[in-house]
Chain A
Amino acid sequence: MADHRDEGRPPAPVAGYLRRHREQLLPVLFVLPALAYVGYFAFYPAIDAVVLSFQTPILSFTFYNYQANVNLGLYTWIANTFWLTLGALALQFGLALGIASIVNRNFRGKRIFATIAILPIGISTVVAGYAFSTIFPGSGGGYAASVLSVVGYHETIYWLQTPAKALLAVIIADSWKNTALVVIILVAGYASIPSTLYQAAAIDGAGPLRQFRYVTLPGIRGFIVIALLIRGAQEFNIFQLALEMIGQYPQLLTVQIYVLYTSGEGIYLASAVASVLLGIVSVFILVVLLLGTRQ
């Protein structure tokens, strides 16, 4: 067999590389269409928005769009968006932790409760938005008043009277619609914790609260980070619900992008606000990832 031996030499580097990774070729080819798709339909328009934000119909490079938006109240829009996000995240995570730990228990009626908890996902955002604008109408009264009068509160609350009240209405509506997603993720987190850990903690003398602090929380940390990323980004991006319930009072970044865009030559102004939103979302993603993956 000695006459065959020469062919066994290692092949040339490039050919050798291709040969070694032959099995990887098809998987790579299979992933390319998705990358091309998101490249063209997501990243290219996002970059385009940034490019447009530094242009006007007559100028190829300018800061005018940003300056004009600052004069229009950009900082207030940012603050409103920020408070809305903070409030919605706080409410959703508080609710979701509660619902998830209920769903994690065994009790009669658990299936029914889990189904009820997930139902809002099936309600169209537009319809939910309209329902909540009849619950919290700017003109006062509404179904919120109906409920409050049952418990003996009869004052009239004008929900769009102050930015705080309007944002609260949107926060409640949005949390109603989207807490289920957080619950879904947290339940997966709870399920990933081996029950022996709780037994060990109980034997070590930890009560329910300290079990939550030292077993549950560290165990679901990664899941919380994911949920925070998904929901946080979606809160910054909240549009339809806010447009429908509160319109421009108070203004959010997304709604302002839409308003500017639909007002004539506003695509450049809209792009500046869009770029700001893009920047905020990017920073948010980075911060959560950095904080969440520390340790």
Chain B
Amino acid sequence: MTVKLQLDRVSKKFGSLMVADDVSLDVDAGEFFVLLGPSGEGKSTLLRMIAGIETPDSGTIRIDGQDVTDLPPNKRNIAMVFQNYALYPNMNVYRNIAFPLKMQYFPPDEIEPKVRDVAKTLGISEILDRRVNQISGGQQQRVALARAIVRNPTLFLLDEPLSNLDARVRFAARAELKKIQRDLGQTFFFVTHDQKEAEVLSDRTGVLHHGVFEQIGPFDQLYDTPATRWIGDFVGDVPMNYVPWTESGTSGSMGFRPEWATVSPDGAQSATVQVAERVGDFTYLLCTTANGLRVYLRSLRSMSVGSEVRFNVDRHVFFGGPKDGEDERVSSERPERLPPRRA
């Protein structure tokens, strides 16, 4: 695998706010990399530094091995899709898609077939003459994508391109995006705060927090073996459960997800049901243990509020140290079979 994009000790501060703190990362050619994190963690800023719109305070950015840190955006041969699509309002759809080619001084007779081709791929041939404010959000997203694809860039940067879509359209667009990336075989660097997108789209996901990558890896890895408590809480529909635990002489806590525990009358642990919610086949239970800890559990049987629930933890990850101290995970225990994840 050749390295397409390399961030080498990149740092960036806004005033006293550290948005990238000595960040290093290699993204392979053809990889779908998702940068995940809550909003305000500096994801867009990192993407903008790769695009050349922001300048890192220090560090080096390389694309295809070439140092592009001091190159302006137009010299980097990258395509970018912004969250609001940034379609040129004074141009129709056709001219929007043709714009990057025009900037590269393609002759008009070469531009036309390229535009029509990509429009056909994305199913927007019918709207090429429309003004961009006369088309739907889903169509706008396709136009933005078409404009990115048409120039055949070396790297695609996408900043939350699905977040402005309605839930229904977003679902279809997400699947389509993955297919497009596979067909193109190009490198995608995709920013989102939506972990579902990371789960569905990514080959690898990096989670940015306090200016550093807390963890980089396939999404399943983030879910099953979170590197830190913070990741455990951030990834997943509900925060991870923690109970005090001692493992190989180290005291710390055991983290487990609802589906990693089995509710049964002869369980070793016990808790009291505070809230019970039926979702699909399962009843989700928010419980408190005798020593006041909150625990999310999942049960096939419905339970009533106030009743006692007993459960066994089938698998867990171990985090050493007190809850709010250094929360590095020191070991994990993996069962042979992964329990089905989420309803």
Q: List residues of chain A with CB under 8 Å of any chain B CB.
A: 1, 4-5, 7-11, 16, 19-23
Contact = CB atoms under 8 A, between A and B. Distances in A.
25 contacts: A1-B26, A4-B6, A4-B8, A4-B60, A7-B8, A7-B60, A8-B8, A8-B24, A8-B59, A8-B60, A9-B9, A10-B11, A10-B58, A11-B58, A16-B57, A16-B58, A19-B55, A19-B57, A19-B70, A20-B55, A21-B55, A22-B55, A22-B70, A23-B53, A23-B55
B307 to A, nearest CB: 46
B194 interface: no
A8 B67 CA distance: 11
Given A4-B8, A10-B11, 17 more contacts: A1-B3, A1-B6, A1-B26, A4-B62, A7-B67, A8-B8, A8-B24, A8-B58, A9-B9, A9-B58, A11-B58, A16-B58, A19-B55, A19-B70, A20-B57, A21-B55, A23-B55
Interface residues of B, number: 18
Contacts, number: 39
B56 to A, nearest CB: 8
B17 to A, nearest CB: 14
Contacts of B6: 1, 4
A10 B10 CA distance: 9
B74 to A, nearest CB: 14
A1 B53 CA distance: 25
A7 B60 CA distance: 7
User: Chain A interface secondary structure, helix, strand, loop or mixed?
Assistant: helix
B54 interface: yes
Nearest 7 A-B pairs (CB), nearest first? A8-B9, A10-B58, A8-B8, A8-B59, A22-B55, A8-B60, A7-B60
Contacts of A23: 53-55
A10 B11 CA distance: 9
A23 B54 CA distance: 7
Contacts of A21: 55
Contacts of A1: 3, 6, 8, 26
Contacts of B58: 8-11, 16
A4 B57 CA distance: 17
